[in-house]
Structure 1
């Protein structure tokens, strides 16, 4: 990892400031908030959540980046005066913790405490060491440090010991053995995560934090309630369904249980049965296959048992065009006994058959009911691809009843069955290889002993699909047009394959087979069913990409009895799509498109498992609810958690007995029933219980007044219900984009299922990319990795926040630059110093100047005589405009844009104001500097709250937290920006003039043709001439042209109309007409690029006064020592020399 230099002195000062304000916020409960009794209509409501992180370790900088989006958003809404809430929970459901605990227990059993492997690397178990043997343990180990350590004893296995992983996370070796209990993890890491987030200065209401699983009885009851409602509503069912399955764990492997393959779903194929033709006869007549077939029958395959090559395809309709079958000549296959089952799953007595396929596909099939024993392939023998070449097989539906098995060297043995139907008419890959063998390219036919005249030439490609506008044999044509030379032109073939398949699916019509005349998109499922009904194919599934479970097992697809959520059910899906289309703000159009694509593909979801931590399925307690399924509507739980858990993460000191927090309670508080929960009210009817509840719930500065008003049970019940009703719906959910295919879409599904009232459906979801560090992927193995704690140790909270905001806001990967974080330390401390300095009474940097009045502005506009007004009004206009734009950027979660406006554009404007005042011979106005400092500090608070609180309370003398001193309303900011927007043109004008003068300067300093210089001693001074007012005829002609101009430009008759105007209205003749026409032509040309700005006939300010006030900026840009500004006709240069000057375009002469 790149090292960067950090100013340790400034960092220590910044850390001290951060610690001080974190203690202050904690003591004052600054970020704890309660739903008001009667919300003020002038204040908005903002509720943001973030997917709770999984607690099998410390959070890293990537977690902090995603969480920061929610954190910045809630900070902004606090700064605009909204009721704003950001809760933060901790996820411990699922297999990873249980698996890690189990792994650690096995290591301790095998290697002792701490694990010791003998020097000869044998796996013999050494003598055990007990926890009580303290002398062997390193007492100096501390929690919280993440650094690579070399254990005294280390396994040579490629995978780290679980003991080492925990040691790397900073867990002391005394404490590591306790982690054999999975519930120890549940309570250990959430505390560390909370500490990290508090050091970050997270604006979180920690009263609402919780852990999941049955370790928290209140959350456990909430999840059970949710699943009972889903079950009653018909959203969850039981049956045999395909799912991603971990053979090692013996259960479904959902997204959170994977170390690779998150989001991967089962992919269904049609496996077409290509029957080996008369296998006993081929054993005799085909010497090539004799050894293989002879060996196969030595295994006593019953006479008459069919043998099939299984060819997996996603395009069953193309079976009618088979010309041959492909195998990988160097591939390893196997022959397997398969069974046929009836609808009840019973094996049919005479339904046995032999499949030849890859071992990988056979394992998947064994988990899908095709083997006698679940998950165990019944292998007969290994078969090589060469053994299968030239074999004759039956081709179901093909125009050729039998075809040969031929070699295809580009077959992937990791996809499908390793056997492929060849349809060269409509598959570019097939056509390329067909042509290679036909032409014996690279001697391929000779190499594999293919008799082309017998095995290929008689099997010409068949025109099976006609594509509108393209004809037939589309794959062959695409290959020729693209210049495909062989089957190894992978890039070209990949490009045209997608075109061929997409065009064929949407625009193709079948010409052959049982569905001739039907469109492909219509007959594809019909053909699939036709093949299966005739026993000529089976349905086979495998993961669409590799999936590795957290137990390091390669997963398969299994058809198992399970409880599953019926995602994708048409009526339910329609509700989700309504939520997306009508209510959900996604901040990026692509996010909305991704959600809609996911609704097309997300189907039944296995909701239960048998191993791991979690909540038992209430209607079938032998199962545990899996980790994504218990994480969909917990945003609702946050709204009431502070009333239940008693300020504990696990509810161990809960406010109410768990038996009264039942379905009736949840139904009522979540506005799903008007029937009050009697058990809850009966408990509170006891005065002692009511007094205890009031005492436990009381939080000074937060709800003390509300609790004081509660005198009877229904009032407390209504307070709880009001909390949900006020905060819901969720206004924003921030997450990594990788959760769109599962968690985020499932959140939409479950909300629409639980709440029919659309008012409670989610309103916003913002996705972000992954986080890079210094332009490189985060990786522990390369060392380019930071935990949250390490980042905070190295840079402090506000500097980390600054760099996270700067990292990026889009869906592409963001980039945390350590140099940016290091520089931010100096930037933030300089901000504090300069704010103190400018406002210091002792140093007298500012003066008490009355605000500019409208009459002074009018006088200035017309005469330019009030010199100081230009600096004041331009600065005021820029502050108003920049603050408004920063507000808008933060509101749309464009935090990098807001950061740039806050930390770059506003300070630059301020520095320019200081220089403008200096040039005018005065000091900045106190009222403007204080206005700037207050507004700027409030914007700084969105990203860097610690330094902002320091400035607000200790420099600007704020009487309470900056989060209780919001920005002006958007309407007020907008009104202020509009009222001063005219003066933004002053800055735009100065910038344009400097650009033009810079071009003039560059031209003037270029060597002449003879090599000499116009200014051999350099340019040190300049004389500027401005046009004080437009010549009358130019003004009239410009105004006339403005009347002809529209959004589409000028009419075609513009020249004729201008000529007529010049002659009749202006009364010009002769050369005057030519001069005016030239001027008009210039205006017409400029209008093409400048638009309506071209027709300005009078600036709302004195150009001479402006350039005089900003002469310092011109001199700085051009490197001049002095600059004089004149009206044309006033300076030392004759008026005739200044004819190039025009309104808004002064000229400059150099000395």
Structure 2
């Protein structure tokens, strides 16, 4: 079924979008995928949501462009090739599995994987697989517009982008700290890092304080230099390897790994000797403020964090306090190093006053959290976070420091200035988290690069533009706006080029390749013209020009001017189209047509993505549009969905639990995958793919399919009935309310709610109606169910397009349901009274079950519905007054005055509505009575017992006087004892 409709859609270009001035346009994009492997269910969630939006907008009358392209820039694909070339057996095994999803021949799989040592073979193989898989999911994309970021003509577009950024002063070159892979000799970004789309990676600046030891300095790292006044000792790890090294001409003692890192941080480092940390234990050093302090052993000290040396402030640092307590209790260690006397006299020195804490905040929090020792890292990390945060924002320096009364955050600045001025403080940068690796397996550290290319997001002019663009943009869910604001506020100097990997080379300096997140910021504009470039031959011409620019380091002015002139005209409307066309060797009408196509589609109406891209790509997307395009072409909306996990665990290829889209479609079907994605979680929630839940959704999908076939087999009524029964009026009300509220739900991206409406609530209503349809006129039933199915199948289409298309054509239609308009709301059918009355039926069923359970009776059920009309009047008055916010006491008083002699009933009705015993919606007596009677058979089939519905004002059989207990929305119930010989219903 699915293959048939996919074949028809894509062969006939059903979703190819061309400018059409008779319709409003809607341009939606999803970040193009990085194709170092096949798409997985995480891609499936994001792209399926994008497709649901595209299909919905198409139904609402929009001319929708939903394109796709492929990202290959940077090192991830190169890393795959490198790992294979190095003989990484584990990685090769994974690739065999991935290729084997598509190729059944093991010999062919081996040939293909062997060829992956050339990164372009990876690109070409997985590009085609993505297209196959996305078509297999039924995505309504315009596949004519496909390009890759490694295409020569795409490089011409990136050259233009960077010429524009340079002309505005936003592209700079200079010295700055960057994430760096020494083994690969290049700066790296999030896309280059293993797990970089999941990790929050920061660069942290440590202050290095110099402690005099003979003619050397023992260099300790800290984030809190103001605490030097509370230092009692220095910690080293006795089991780590340290070095004495010349660092910019000074003798420093640091860990061996620290010396290695420092040489990449603009420091000249020459190692003189190596030795064990135990050699330092027991020595006495002079602190930067002149205090004599012992060097003591501590296992919590990590040689791979900063210098591998820390000074101890046990009054204000939980790790230091715990380590000091441990050491004082460790008689063996004290004897081994002969430091008993040194340690015995050490007591914490309080230097910060902190409200809510005692003299020693570190001691307070360690004891409060029940820290067991310096090895209790989880609790110590929590304790450290609490103390450091509280002291930084609320602490004041004590009288025993030179900064008495000064706030901690101000004292820190003063201490740094003082110690730096005296040559006793330096800096060092670290990655957080500490151990990060590239996709190729190389260690990532922080380096200070002199000639690195940067995008200066901190430029005040640019910053104000990007903040303005965010302010004018819709963010869905709105709660993520603060994440964007925080990112844009924080963005400053961002390295934008690497020396390795695929992509566009910096035109003035081809040694550098523009990195993967920096060349994927405004490519949505390229979607609007990519197919036209191919059709007119301009793709080839622009590719040749880009090659000339790069080969000549942008000194080929003719080539550079032709590129810049073309994109300036197409995207910015600048320049003379005649001159642009002449420079490219095409007719003027060609470039004018390309310009018109861009103008028709831009700006991006909606960018849908995963939340992991907020802090990089999506923020860069906003920033680059603000920098280059006029305000009318700034993006209009960004929507986001959360991550996907598998059976409660993080999905990861390295964990071996990734579900590939190909596997999911083969196992379940595309529509089931789409429905599960839509139904299983709201956008802001993590989607947990659970196989057993998928099977449950499959059951519902099959039920809907079977129900639709029954309706199709019944056929369409020849005439519309003159009058409609209550059940028909109820079903048509549910249908039209779903049409109206469903449109609002999709408009607001409440996709899970929409899936529940269409595939669960509406189905339940149809099945309920079909339960009693034999009691209704045959032509009325056929008319109603056909009318419902005709709209229902359109409502299914955004989520389950293949099933919808099949049902649509089974009904005898020759058009594609994928291009049908949203069903029209027939307002005359929406009836609150009948819908509210049916809610009484559902609650009545539960009440009967409870009565049967408590009484133990299972005979005929007598239902007494509809107290006198005046009770309904009073009940509806309660609903009105509660809706206006009246207090319960005031409602009772008002009703008691209005209905003389019925104060007790007024109080009961009011209290029962307030407590939930009675419904909070209005009811009419006639409708409630008629609905309960109309759905008597439905009630019987739900309960498996015989039901007799009686008017509570004139009961025929009421042996226990239950009828008088009936209230609006709460019929009374009497269950007769079941005769011994009575057969089940």
Contact residue 502 and residue 513 of structure 2 kept, 8 A: yes
Gapped runs of 5+ residues in structure 2?
547-558, 977-985
Structure 1 match to 2:982: none
The correspondence of residues 493-642 of structure 1 with structure 2, limited to 5 A, is 493-511=380-398, 513-545=401-433, 546-560=435-449, 561-587=451-477, 589=479, 591-642=480-531
Asked if 1:981 is matched to 2:843, the reply is no
1:751 is aligned to: 625
1:1145 aligns with 2:970: yes
Check if 1:1132 corresponds to 2:932: no
Matched, 1:1021 2:910: no
Structure 1 residue 563: deviation in Å? 0.4
Maintained 8 Å contact 1:1028/1:1102: no
Indicate yes or no: 2:190 matched with 1:255: yes
Partner of residue 822 from structure 2, selected from 945, 959, 967? 967
Separation (CA, whole Å) in 2 of partners of 1:931 and 1:318: 77
User: How many residue pairs get matched?
Assistant: 954
Structure 1 residue 87 displacement after superposition: 0.8
Q: CA deviation digits over 1:382-424, x for unaligned, max 9?
A: 3323222222112224xx6121112223233333322212122
Q: Note if 1:1088 corresponds to 2:914.
A: yes
CA gap of 1:1145–1:55, structure 2 versus 1, over 3 A, is: closer
Aligned to 1:200: 137
Using the TM superposition, give the Cα deviation of residue 275 of structure 1 relative to its aligned residue in structure 2, in angstroms: 2.4
Deviation larger for 763-772 or 869-878: 763-772
Could you tell me how far apart the structure 2 residues matched to 1:594 and 1:937 are? 38
Are the equivalent residues in 2 in contact too, given 1:806–1:896 (CA < 8 A)? yes
Query: Aligned-pair distance for 1:750?
Result: 1.2
Q: Does 1:34 align with 2:14?
A: no
Report the counterpart of residue 82 of structure 1 in structure 2.
62
Aligned to 1:733: 607
Alignment of 1:693-712 (within 5 A): none
Q: Deviations over 1:900-945 (max 9, x none)?
A: 2222221111111112333446565344322211221112111121
How far is 1:103 from its partner?
5.7
Is the 8 Å Cα contact of residues 243 and 266 (structure 1) preserved in structure 2? no
Correspondence for 2:174: 239
- Give the drift of 1:548: 0.9
Separation in 1 of the partners of 2:405 and 2:171? 40
Q: What's 1:804 paired with?
A: 677
Q: Which residue is equivalent to 1:861?
A: none
What does residue 1009 of structure 1 align with? none
What displacement does 1:447 show? Answer: 5.2
> 1:270 aligns to what?
206
The aligned residue for residue 72 of structure 2 is 92
How many Å apart are 1:461 and its aligned residue?
3.0
Deviation at 1:243, TM superposition (A): 0.9
* Cα distance change on mapping 1:732 and 1:264 into 2, 3 Å: same
Q: Find the partner of 1:681 among 566, 581, 584.
A: 581
Match of 1:906 among 742, 762, 769: 762
Q: Which residue of 1 aligns with 2:550?
A: none
Q: Specify the alignment match of 2:980 in structure 1.
A: none
Decide whether the 8 Å contact of 1:586 with 1:765 is kept in 2.
yes
SS of 2:965 mapped into structure 1: coil
Q: What is the CA–CA distance in structure 2 between the aligned matches of 1:1025 and 1:412, rounded to whole Å?
A: 77
Conserved in 2, the CA contact under 8 Å of 1:847 and 1:925? no
Alignment partners' CA distance in 2, 1:1127 and 1:166: 68
Tell me if the contact between 2:212 and 2:287 (Cα under 8 Å) persists in the aligned partners.
Answer: no
Residues 779 and 166 of structure 1: CA distance in aligned 2, closer, same or farther (over 3 Å): closer
Instruction: Name the CA shift for 1:586/1:310 in 2 (closer, same or farther; >3 Å).
Output: farther
- Structure-to-structure mapping, 1:740-889, within 5 angstroms: 740-755=614-629, 757-778=630-651, 784-818=657-691, 828=701, 831-840=704-713, 843=714, 848-850=719-721, 852=723, 869-889=725-745
What is the CA distance between 1:875 and its match in structure 2?
Answer: 0.4
- The yes-or-no answer on 1:466 pairing with 2:450 is no
Q: Quick check: 222-231 or 639-648, which moved more? A: 639-648
TM-score computed with the length of structure 1 as normaliser: 0.77
**What is the aligned counterpart of 1:358 among 255, 269, 272?**
255
Segment of structure 1 superposing worse, 459-468 or 51-60: 459-468
Q: CA deviation at 1:211?
A: 0.9
The worse-fitting range, judged by mean Cα deviation, of 806-815 and 71-80 is 806-815
Structure 1 CA distance for aligned equivalents of residues 458 and 231 of structure 2? 34
Within the candidate set 565, 585, 606, 1:664 is matched to: 565
8 Å CA contact 2:608, 2:638 repeated in 1: yes
Question: Could you tell me how far apart the structure 2 residues matched to 1:628 and 1:995 are?
Answer: 57
C-alpha contact (below 8 Å) 1:484/1:492 kept by paired residues: yes
Distance in 2 between the 1:1122 and 1:1139 partners? 19
Against the structure 1 CA distance between its residues 531 and 918, is the aligned structure 2 distance closer, same or farther, given a 3 Å change threshold? farther
Distance 1:1049 1:355, change over 3 A: farther
What's the CA shift for 1:78? 1.7
Structure 1 residue 1099 corresponds to structure 2 residue 954: no
Sort the Cα spacing of 1:902 and 1:608 in 2 relative to 1 into closer, same or farther, 3 A: same
Q: Which stretches in structure 1 are left out of the alignment for 5+ residues?
A: 1-16, 108-154, 280-305, 340-351, 373-377, 691-712, 853-867, 1006-1014, 1069-1075
Of residues 126, 149, 157, the one that matches 1:189 is: 126
Distance 1:1111 1:246 in 2: 74
Deviation, structure 1 residue 219: 0.8
Does 1:230 pair with 2:154?
no
Residues 942, 175 of structure 1: alpha-carbon distance in 2 compared, 3 angstrom cutoff:
same
Q: Distance in 2 between matches of 1:1045 and 1:162?
A: 63
Aligned to 2:50: 70
Q: Aligned-pair distance for 1:783?
A: 5.2
Deviations 1:845-868 (A, max 9, x none): 86745254xxxxxxxxxxxxxxx6
Partner residue of 2:242?
333
Q: Distance in 2 between matches of 1:499 and 1:387?
A: 34
Measure how far apart 1:997 and its partner are. Answer: 2.2
CA gap of 1:460–1:79, structure 2 versus 1, over 3 A, is same
Counterparts in 2 of 1:1078 and 1:166: CA distance versus 1, 3 Å: closer
Q: CA deviation at 1:777?
A: 4.4
Aligned to 1:121: none
Seen in structure 2, the aligned counterparts of structure 1 residues 773 and 527 have a Cα distance that, compared at 3 Å, is same
The reply on whether 1:389 has 2:291 as its aligned counterpart is no
Residues 574 and 408 from structure 1, CA distance in 2 versus in 1: closer, same or farther, beyond 3 angstroms?
A: farther
Q: Report if the CA contact (8 A) 2:517-2:617 is conserved.
A: yes
CA drift at 1:805: 2.8
- 1:917 corresponds in structure 2 to 773
Match of 1:1142, SS state, is coil
Assess, with a 3 A threshold, how the Cα gap between structure 1 residues 157 and 723 changes in structure 2: closer, same or farther: closer
CA distance in 1, matches of 2:872, 2:129: 72
Deviations 1:1006-1041 (A, max 9, x none): xxxxxxxxx4xxx2312222235245xx67876887
- Paired with 2:488 and 2:944, the residues of 1 have a C-alpha distance of 62
- Per-residue displacement from partner, 1:498-557 (whole Å, max 9, x unpaired)? 222212112222235454433233343443333223211211012112221122111111
Aligned-partner Cα distance in 1 for 2:698–2:791:
21
**Residues 832 and 1050 of structure 1, relative CA distance in 2, 3 Å threshold:** closer
Deviations 1:16-63 (CA, angstroms, capped at 9, x unpaired): x22222221123211111222x344xx4x3222122122233333332
> 2: distance between equivalents of 1:575 and 1:520?
35
- Give distance in 1, aligned partners of 2:52 and 2:915: 39
**Partner in structure 1 of residue 850 of structure 2:** 999
Aligned mates of 1:644, 1:794 — CA distance in 2: 39
Q: Which has the larger radius of gyration?
A: 1
Which secondary structure state, in structure 1, belongs to the residue aligned with residue 465 of structure 2?
helix
Could you say which residue in structure 2 is the equivalent of 1:709? none
Matching of residue 1050 in structure 1 with residue 887 in structure 2:
yes
- 1:259-290 CA-to-partner distances (Å, cap 9, x unmatched) read 2445554523334333243x3xxxxxxxxxxx
Equivalent residue for 2:301, pick from 396, 403, 411: 411
Give the match for residue 421 of structure 1: 311
Q: Counterpart in 1 of 2:324?
A: 434
Inter-partner Cα distance in structure 2 for 1:54 and 1:254: 14
